[in-house]
Amino acid sequence: MRRILNAKPSITQREVDYVTDAAAHGWGLDCYGYLNRFIGEAKQYFDSELAWPTSSCHGALHMVLMALGVGPGDEVIVPDATWTGSVFPISWLGATPVFVDVKPDTWCVDPRQVGKAITAKTKAVIAVHLYGNLCEMDELVAVCNERGVTLIEDAAEAIGSEYKGRKAGSIADFGVFSFHGTKTLTTGEGGLILSHRTDLASKVTAIDSQGRHQGAKTFWVDEIGLKYKMSNLQAALGLAQLERAEELVQRKRETFHQYQAAFADWSDITLNPEPAGTLNSYWMPTVVFGPSYQPTVDQRNTWIDACVAAGVEARPFFYPVSDMPMYTDMPQNTVSRELSASGINLPSSYELTPDDVGYVVSTLRQAVRG
């Protein structure tokens, strides 16, 4: 049976050569060789002053929140339409996630709702660039600056997306990224912190070093830190991917435009937006069905099941995180709920051909028609 994967990285001889070299020679005095090169390439690509590679985006966000002193009694605002990785680090630190709704046109956090949700307890706002789509950063920066709240970009799904000429993840106080095997760039598993907050650089570095301050005597620890290091081997793979970043983002965009053409005769659907002044890297092409389809979560899942049975690895739009059993339900977040019931993620593997895209769309059409 034909099988079309949801996501798979693009690995060339460059990646194989770098990882092979790291495995053969990246030890002893050169144990950080590729890691340092990766940091340099990341700073250049994202035009960021500061960068810390990590073992995951979860770890990156955990470190940032810890550096900000987030803890019990604090609140962190986060969109309801996101993956739990944007939320769990808040809970790990004993703080309270405050779920706000997203906008129907961007699928990203609504700045007006953020402004309403900020209280004296608010320590940070996490803006998630969902599926490669861009948050309204000017509005978010303005409201956070006005209220004295730190803004964090979760750009795990938006590597290569741009907002008014700036890379996603490089605009706010902090940006965090994922290099999971499904993402636009991969280190297998991995993450990254970017920042221009030089006032917090030493704090993040100390946490990154398991609480050891620079210049401290060997094995002396000054505070409780974390261990979310990226390995030299992972960095070798990531360096090769970063050197190909523009090529890989362009490939994602080509695939999305093929989907656009294949859906041209469909009515009452919406695909990932790209407002004026932005560039969407389209990590995950997603279709949202309008009211004429009367979609429900169960109906949407039936369509996905039919696609999977035909070899097409479609996925559901994220469920509202507030619906999960560990959090309190937020029925007022109506846009997040509507998107969850009516959205389907489409395969975005680098191996997709125009014929594959056509097969995905025709399979989905058959599933919807029943």
Q: Which pLDDT tens digit goes with each residue over 148-171?
A: 999 999 999 999 999 999 999 999
Same domain, residue pair 282 and 215: no
Cα angle 198-203-204, degrees, rounded to a multiple of 5: 85
Distances (CA, A) of 203 to 45, 160, 224, 234: 24, 28, 11, 24
Same domain, residue pair 169 and 289: no
Same domain, residue pair 166 and 315: no
Region 202-229: what's the mean pLDDT?
A: 93
Three-class secondary structure assignment of 57-75: HHHHHHHHHHHCCCCCCCE
83 occurs within a structural domain: yes
CA atoms within 13 A on the CB side of 240: 22
C-beta of residue 135 within 8 angstroms of C-beta of residue 128: yes
Domain extent for 133: 13-243
The DSSP code for 200 is G
Q: Counting beta carbons within 10 angstroms of the beta carbon of residue 141, is it exposed (0 to 12), middle (13 to 18) or buried (19 or more)?
A: middle
Q: What is the pLDDT of residue 233?
A: 98
**Residue 257 sits in a domain of what CATH number?**
3.90.1150.10
Pull the structure tokens for residue 133: 């789509």
Same domain, residue pair 59 and 170: yes
Q: What is the pLDDT of residue 241?
A: 98
- Reply yes or no on whether the pLDDT at 105 is more than 90: yes
Mean pLDDT check: name the lowest of 117-131, 180-194, 212-226, 275-289: 212-226
CA atoms within 13 A on the CB side of 98: 18
Q: What is the pLDDT of residue 214?
A: 87
Q: How confident is the model at residue 198 (pLDDT cuts 50, 70, 90)?
A: very high
Dihedral-angle region of residue 144 (phi above 0 means left; psi in -120 to 50 means alpha; beta otherwise)? alpha
**Residue 209 sits in a domain of what CATH number?**
3.40.640.10
Q: What is the pLDDT of residue 257?
A: 98
239 three-state secondary structure: helix
Same domain, residue pair 232 and 249: no
Pull the structure tokens for residue 79: 């969109």
Among candidate residues 224, 243, 262, the one where a domain is terminated: 243
Verify whether residue 183 is a known catalytic residue. Answer: yes
Same domain, residue pair 256 and 363: yes
Region 68-92: what's the mean pLDDT?
A: 98
Catalytic hit among 167, 183, 217, 252 = 183
Beta strand pairing call for 286-289 and 343-345: antiparallel
1 occurs within a structural domain: no
Same domain, residue pair 145 and 287: no
> What's the CA gap between 341 and 301, in Å, rounded?
9
Pull the structure tokens for residue 105: 């046109």
173 occurs within a structural domain: yes
C-beta of residue 87 within 8 angstroms of C-beta of residue 184: no
User: pTM for the whole thing?
Assistant: 0.96
The DSSP code for 118 is -
C-beta of residue 157 within 8 angstroms of C-beta of residue 281: no
Number of domains in the chain: 2
C-beta of residue 157 within 8 angstroms of C-beta of residue 132: yes
234 occurs within a structural domain: yes
- Which of 59, 339, 72 is CA-nearest to residue 226? 59
Indicate the helix (H) or strand (E) that contains 328. Answer: none
Q: What is the pLDDT of residue 200?
A: 96
Q: Give me the count of residues in the chain.
A: 370
Q: What is the pLDDT of residue 215?
A: 83
Residues 6+ apart with CB under 8 A from 27: none
Among candidate residues 243, 259, 286, the one where a domain is terminated: 243
Cα angle 136-161-192, degrees, rounded to a multiple of 5: 100
Among candidate residues 243, 271, 302, the one where a domain is terminated: 243
> What's the CA gap between 146 and 134, in Å, rounded?
21
C-beta of residue 330 within 8 angstroms of C-beta of residue 354: no
4 occurs within a structural domain: no
Q: Which tens digits make up the pLDDT trace of 306-328?
A: 999 999 999 999 999 999 999 99
94 occurs within a structural domain: yes
Same domain, residue pair 321 and 221: no
- Reply yes or no on whether the pLDDT at 120 is more than 90: yes
C-beta of residue 176 within 8 angstroms of C-beta of residue 192: yes
- Which of 66, 73, 14, 35 is CA-nearest to residue 234? 35
Percent of the chain beyond pLDDT 90? 97
3 occurs within a structural domain: no
258, amino acid identity: Q
Q: What is the pLDDT of residue 1?
A: 75
Same domain, residue pair 83 and 154: yes
Same domain, residue pair 143 and 266: no
- Reply yes or no on whether the pLDDT at 216 is more than 90: no
CA 201 to chain centre: 22
Same domain, residue pair 206 and 271: no
The DSSP code for 231 is P
Task: Give me the residue label for tokens 């995180």.
Answer: 321
Same domain, residue pair 225 and 260: no
Q: Which tens digits make up the pLDDT trace of 235-275?
A: 999 999 999 999 999 999 999 999 999 999 999 999 999 99
